[in-house]
Amino acid sequence: MTSTTSPKIGARRPSPAPLPGNPRKRGGRPSGLPWILPAFVFVVGLIYFCIVETGYISTLDWDGTSPTPTSVGLDNYTAILQDPIFWKAIWHTVVFFVVTFTVQTAIGFVFAALLHSKVRLGAVYKVLVFAPVVLAPATMAPVFRQMFAADGQLNWTLDHIGLGFLSQPWLAQSTTAMPVIMFITVWQFTGLTFVLYYAAMGQIDPETLEAARTDGASNLRVLRSIVWPGVRSTTVALAMLGVIGALKTFDVPYLVTIGGPNYSTEFLGTYIYRISIPSAHVGYGAALSILLLILALLGAIVVATRANRKDGESSV
Amino acid sequence: MLGSSRIWKRRLPGAAAVFTAAALALAGCAGGSTTETTDKGSADSGNITWWGWTPDAAPAEAYIKEFSKAYPKIKVTYKKLTIDGYDAAIRPALASSVGPDVFDVAPGAANGSVGIYGVNAIDLTPAVEKSLGADWKSKLAPIGVNSLTKDGKLAALSVGSNYAGSVWVNQDLFDKYGLKPPTNYDEWKSVCAAFKTNGVKCFVQGAAQTAFNEDTLQAISNNVKPGVWAQALDKKVPWTDPTIVQALGIWKKLFDDKIMQDGALGVQQYPDANNDFMSGKAAMVMMGTWYMQYSTVDGSTAAISGAGVASPKPFTQLPIAFPDVAGTGNVGSLYGDADFGLAVNKKSKSIAAATTFATWLGTSQAGQQAVGDILNDIPALMSVQPDWASIKLVNPTAQQPALEKLISDAGKSAEPRLATVSADLQTAIGVASTTVAAGQATPEQAAATLQSTAEKIK
């Protein structure tokens, strides 16, 4: 029996012989620093420096322009924990994430599955579903404000199809303003969910699907038992993006409702803006920003950890 | 671990150097040095930029056109920002070394607060003394000088003042439906019912943009009992004063009785309420003396066009006194501040030219006449009055007497509008107004919350 030596995963590879004329540094390994220097400066300078600077500002009582800010230590953080608007914004973020992620996932998954079958004008549907993703919220906000206004198109339509009793000032009520914000978000980002699921479904082995059908599995069973687990990594990625996106939500609520009425559509992003710019409490706003960063990282870690644990369980 | 720690020890100095370099470079951008530039440039030539949320583009162009006649070698470029976006734009701009040469500031905390941005401005006292002489203070409206002085420094030159408390009506719509502008609560209610029957919105208030709610609440409060609102701002009476509680109750009634348009809490004063009025969809709006500019043919046409009307047709806009909603007979109160002042950026590379422009617009006869004739502001130079012969009003017969009375009444008022309101207090008043309107708090509860918040404000 001929024994062959195949490289083992994780085994250290032998270093290739040095090429003639190839300069080597100490230890025979080239320094990577010059190669990564531009990116390093960019990343460290623009991102991490800003985080550190924001962290420093969060310890100040400062209006953003005064040359004499006052150091207050961690007082801003203490005040935030007692701030009802902060907790309101957190609660809105949680509800917003759960609702928009669930609805977007359901619609995106179903659309992707449908458009993987032979649908007439499939390409047109794909464009229609994806088009809202590329439209800027700033462009669409006035349209939605008009549409959901008390004398807007939605109420007009309801009045003209005999559902006038459902008409209401959608953006003027705490109970309906948040659902409108969620609706706009779902409308805007379901296309992205759809595209990612569509691509992920294309990676599922057709033979597995065929085998399932040969065994008599129905469409629903195939979707539930083969396709859904097959796109699991996409779902995890979307969940992670959803958590971060929910925490960063700003443009739609700010442009459509200014976070109102009565803070009913206030998110951390809109609250940071409200506190830092119109109210000029830049130190407090910076502390909120640091908490937002921590929450975003925690959210992403929790989603990733849970996904890894499930992966581990399913592979046992 | 050991290996990685050795690598870190070897590379740490290099990485630290890169980090420090990046940090220093960025700190240079973000640090916001407030050092005044030493090179002031030429006083009668150069290019300068002016940023503001007011005036509109058309009046600004008119001012600049007049200025160019006096100083043809100074080119002024005006950048108009939105009211809500001004602070977000001006703060980093002033912290950088490439900000505007001239920028708007205003008393109070609404936007462009002189209290915040005054530190970025040069002291204009020497320039005003040169322009108007040693007794310059006697020639300018005190409301503009006092409110734009910060820490003994004249941080900006008031261009003019503005007063709120009036309601503007579309007289053509009233005439079309045979209605008369209301003078009391019952008339207001019946006028609104009549407009609603005809598919026209009656009174529009952008209650989502809460700073404007303050104007209406102050008008109601002054109608209940004059002066109490100003005393509350001055902490001389609590916000739980019966007058203010009653005012909040009347405010709520305006919503319940459909005098306010449906969905007012989801509407912004700018652009929504303004556009509704300008496009003829609404008959009444709560605006102040800054609306006088839309009485002119040019001003009205531009505003109607800006509201999205394809073929703008000017209509007769008239100011009326806020209706006697409390039935006390206390009507016609106006309250105001310096509208905006021009500040010169201490980091400008053209300080001299920028000072020339600010001084010309704020203190010269020609500049102030241009301001007076545009009707955006009541001129800061007290000797200047609008030249009615040269102003082309849409309906001079109806509008000129009304505007003259408005200007005259405003001149008699000493009650502040926003100048003494801090940002936090403004937020608290906004919350009181919207929670009462939405039925989430009674007037008593909202007033108590407002008082409790006001006590915590430094």
Domain CATH for A197: 1.10.3720.10
Which residues share a beta bridge with B76?
B48
Tokens of A200: 């992920």
Question: CB contact, 8 Å: A198 with chain B?
Answer: no
Nearest Cβ partner for A172 among B25, B116, B264: B264
Cβ contact, residue pair A262, B84, below 8 Å: no
CA distance A7 to chain B (A): 24
Quote the pLDDT of residue B352: 96
Cβ contact, residue pair A277, B91, below 8 Å: yes
Judge whether B158 and B185 are in contact, CB under 8 Å: no
Quote the pLDDT of residue A130: 94
Quote the pLDDT of residue B17: 43
Residue A104 falls within a domain, yes or no? yes
- Using CA atoms, how far residue B213 sits from A246, B87, B230, B240, in Å, is 31, 20, 15, 18
**A295: enclosing H helix or E strand:** helix A282-315
Judge whether A112 and A191 are in contact, CB under 8 Å: no
Quote the pLDDT of residue B143: 86
Question: For residue B128, what are the contacts with CB-CB under 8 A and spacing of at least 6?
Answer: B136, B140, B154, B157, B359, B362, B363
DSSP-derived letter for residue B79 is E
Give how many domains chain A has, as a whole number: 1
SS3 A175: helix
Domain check: are B370 and B448 in the same one? no
Q: Nearest residue of A to residue B427 by CA position? A: A279
Residue B100 falls within a domain, yes or no? yes
Domain check: are B313 and B429 in the same one? yes
Nearest Cβ partner for B434 among A63, A65, A260: A260
Domain check: are B299 and B420 in the same one? yes
Question: CB contact, 8 Å: A69 with chain B?
Answer: no
Domain check: are B272 and B351 in the same one? no
pTM of the model: 0.83
Domain check: are B274 and B377 in the same one? no
- Tell how far CA A30 is from the center of its chain: 38
Question: For residue A288, what are the contacts with CB-CB under 8 A and spacing of at least 6?
Answer: A80, A86, A268, A271, A272, A275
Q: Nearest residue of A to residue B93 by CA position? A: A65
B2-30 and A33-42 helices cross at what angle (nearest 10)? 40
CA dihedral A47, A48, A54, A55 (to 10 degrees): 160
Domain check: are B326 and B345 in the same one? no
Quote the pLDDT of residue B33: 45
- Among candidates B377, B387, B457, which has minimal Cα distance to B425? B457
Written as tens digits, the pLDDT of chain A (316 aa) is 334 333 333 334 444 444 444 444 455 566 777 888 888 888 888 888 899 999 999 999 998 888 889 999 999 999 999 999 999 999 999 999 999 999 999 999 999 999 998 888 889 999 999 999 999 998 999 999 999 999 999 999 999 999 999 999 999 999 999 999 999 999 999 999 999 999 999 999 999 999 999 999 998 999 999 999 999 999 999 999 999 999 999 999 999 999 989 999 999 999 999 999 988 899 999 999 999 999 999 988 888 888 777 666 655 4
CA distance A31 to chain B (A): 10
Residue B130 falls within a domain, yes or no? yes
Residue B178 falls within a domain, yes or no? yes
Domain check: are B373 and B438 in the same one? no
Give how many domains chain B has, as a whole number: 2
Quote the pLDDT of residue B97: 86
Q: Which of A41, A51, A54, A65 to mutate to test the interface with B (most CBs of B within 10 A)?
A: A65
Residue B63 falls within a domain, yes or no? yes
Residue A196 falls within a domain, yes or no? yes
Judge whether A105 and A238 are in contact, CB under 8 Å: yes
Quote the pLDDT of residue A28: 58
Within 8 A of B438 by CB-CB distance, chain A residues are 173-174, 261-262
Quote the pLDDT of residue A43: 84
Q: Compute the distance between CA of residue A196 and CA of residue A178 in angstroms, rounded to an integer.
A: 26
Judge whether B125 and B344 are in contact, CB under 8 Å: no
Residue A53 falls within a domain, yes or no? no
Q: Which of A63, A153, A262, A263 to mutate to test the interface with B (most CBs of B within 10 A)?
A: A262
Domain check: are B85 and B230 in the same one? no
Domain check: are B84 and B65 in the same one? yes
Quote the pLDDT of residue B38: 53
Nearest Cβ partner for A63 among B116, B261, B272: B116
Domain check: are B118 and B203 in the same one? no
Q: Which of B265, B268, B449 to mutate to test the interface with A (most CBs of A within 10 A)?
A: B265
Quote the pLDDT of residue A311: 65
Quote the pLDDT of residue A27: 53
Surface-to-core class of residue B239, CB atoms within 10 Å of its CB (0-12 exposed, 13-18 middle, 19+ buried): buried
Cβ contact, residue pair B22, A49, below 8 Å: yes
Residue A5 falls within a domain, yes or no? no
CA distance A85 to chain B (A): 12
Q: Nearest residue of B to residue A26 by CA position? A: B10
Judge whether B115 and B80 are in contact, CB under 8 Å: no
In one-letter notation, the amino acid at residue B353 is A
Question: For residue A63, what are the contacts with CB-CB under 8 A and spacing of at least 6?
Answer: A280, A281, A282, B116
CA angle B280, A142, A275 (to 5 degrees): 110
Domain check: are B356 and B329 in the same one? no
Residue B191 falls within a domain, yes or no? yes
Tokens of B177: 């439906």
DSSP assignment string, B17-59: HHHHHHHHHHHHHHS---PPPS----SS-EEEEEEES-S-HHH
Quote the pLDDT of residue B11: 46
Q: Nearest residue of A to residue B94 by CA position? A: A65
- Among candidates B280, B157, B167, B268, which has minimal Cα distance to B219? B167
Q: Nearest residue of A to residue B26 by CA position? A: A45
Judge whether B113 and B105 are in contact, CB under 8 Å: yes
Residue A296 falls within a domain, yes or no? no
Residue B432 falls within a domain, yes or no? yes
Cβ contact, residue pair B208, A257, below 8 Å: yes
Residue B11 falls within a domain, yes or no? no
Quote the pLDDT of residue A30: 65
Judge whether A266 and A282 are in contact, CB under 8 Å: no
Judge whether B105 and B155 are in contact, CB under 8 Å: yes
Quote the pLDDT of residue A113: 94
Residue B19 falls within a domain, yes or no? no
Longest dimension (CA), chain A: 85
A251-280 in b/e burial notation, b at 16+ Cβ within 10 A?
bbbbbbbbbbbbbbbbbbbbbbbbbbbbbb
- Among candidates A16, A178, A2, which has minimal Cα distance to A98? A178
Quote the pLDDT of residue A10: 36
> What are the helix (H) ranges across B315-442?
351-363, 365-374, 396-412, 423-437
Find the domain containing A256 and state its range: 95-272
Cβ contact, residue pair A257, B435, below 8 Å: no
Q: Compute the distance between CA of residue B86 and CA of residue B100 in angstroms, rounded to an integer.
A: 13
Find the domain containing B363 and state its range: 46-163+337-386
Q: How many CB pairs under 8 A join A and B?
A: 117
Within 8 A of A278 by CB-CB distance, chain B residues are 84, 87, 111, 423, 427
Q: Nearest residue of A to residue B261 by CA position? A: A150
Domain at B135, CATH number: 3.40.190.10
Domain check: are B232 and B173 in the same one? yes
Q: Which residues of chain B have pLDDT under 70?
A: 1-39
